[in-house]
Amino acid sequence: MRRRTLSRLSVAAVSLGLVATLAPSAGATPDRQHGPAAEHTATHATSHAAKPAYKRVGYFTQWGVYGRNFQVKDLDTSGAAAKLTHINYAFGNVSADGKCFTGNVPGEADAWADYVRPLDAAGSVDGVADTADQPLAGNFNQLRELKAKHPGLKVMISLGGWSWSTHFSDAARTPASRKALVASCVDLYLKGNLPADGARGGAGAAKGLFDGIDIDWEWPGSAGDTDTVYRPEDKQNFTALVREFRTQLDAYARTQKKRTHYELSAFVPTAPAKIDAGFEVRKIMRDFDFVNLQGYDFHGSWETTTAQQSALFAARGDFSVDQTVNDWLRRGAPARKLVVGMPFYGQGWTGVTGGGTGLGKPATGAAPGTWAAGSEDYKALKKLADSGAYTVHRDRKGGHAWLFDGTTLWTYDDPQVLRTKSAYVRAKGLGGAMFWSLDGDTADGQLIGAVHGVLGGHR
């Protein structure tokens, strides 16, 4: 109860400009192993006096370079790259034989986007066109150029996601299968040994690009996508898999001439049932540098009644950011290793009846979206709000917003909501903020700018 009281104080304080005075909540769990997660060293001996930075972790989608035409260069021109600490590249896949792989396999892997596709001078971060004989092109080379321009920016390969978690359960079943999976991921992404594709790829082609691995298994021990395998023993196997990743990452780090620490993170769920089905929290947090908490998709157009998708606070029994954070803290997660997920998109319904503000009302289906029904980028929702055709509604106590035109409703986060959530991160002594996904922001990076304004300094 005390945590909730202090957290609500943080929501009020942000409007008073008191963010800097907020202290971590009483009861926030101390880090039990490695010290501050944000600035891990190879020896895991970072001092609290070092004042590590808040993490700002953004997902860059592999497929966004096509229809969305969102390129790595856009992270530079929007100003986002200067405000991020980590980019999670989404996604790497795990094959039916339990190995990390890439190639040009429709729906399974896209080497063309990853490292084959040539970029011209106008599309390149460094303003130089790719040549026909360079071994690394595509998104990987652009991310390498982005890191060169923004020293300190880290790039993680995120494995799995909703659609590509299919084979995790099989790959994690035995010590031998876990060892083989991790070794293949280290070889492909950290050692950079990419499959040859004409002049592209080859031994060491992507070496030095990735600074760690993000595990996005959705979900160990409980249902995910329709073809994703899950078993009761996933919970213990996930712990063992995380340990294997940590062991092999550290072993590879010791082979490098330059002192190196490869980071290990994961995307983890909000639902208490899914947490308990798949995660031995105290054990896995010893090996993770941080975890990204699901802070969105609490409700959506798969339901027949409109509701908030990403509220900071909600009534008892409903999902919220505060509920998610406290559920992980109560299970033994260190506060400074919890990074709060924030959406750069909204969930929407149409055919909403019942009047009022539209929230909590029956709807006939998903609202039309640019890329998928029921989902829309923030940059498009901002245009709706600015048009005057929709009214912006806010639940200031709950810390969320929505748009309603009398028929269609969109629940989303705007800069005001994200500043409030960022103040909450500071108040709770948490690790930072994560964003899904960077292509949803405006061309001038309004959302990342709002978060950076609160979390851009040190803890």
Catalytically annotated residues: 218
**Is 244 within 8 Å of 179 (Cβ atoms)?**
yes
Query: What span, in angstroms and rounded, lies between the C-alpha atoms of 180 and 175?
Result: 9
> Which DSSP symbol is given to 82?
G
**3-state helix/strand/coil string of 308-321:** CCCCCCCCCCCCCH
Read off the tokens for 98. 């339990």
Query: What span, in angstroms and rounded, lies between the C-alpha atoms of 17 and 137?
Result: 45
Read off the tokens for 312. 């900071």
Widest distance between CA atoms in the chain: 66
- Distance of alpha carbon 15 from its chain centroid, rounded? 27
Strand-pairing partners, residue 90, are: 61, 158
Q: How many CB atoms lie within 10 A of CB 397?
A: 12
**Tokens 């539209």 sit at which residue?**
358
Helix, strand, coil shares, percent, the chain, to 5 = 35, 20, 45
**Is 83 within 8 Å of 444 (Cβ atoms)?**
no
Write the burial class of residue 283 (CB in 10 Å: 0-12 exposed, 13-18 middle, 19+ buried). Answer: middle
Amino acid identity at 259 = R
Cβ-proximal residues to 18 (8 Å cutoff; 6+ apart), any chain: none
User: What radius of gyration do the chain's Cα atoms show?
Assistant: 21
**Tokens 């899950």 sit at which residue?**
230
Strand-pairing partners, residue 154, are: 86
Find the Cα–Cα–Cα–Cα dihedral 174, 176, 178, 184, rounded to 10°: -150
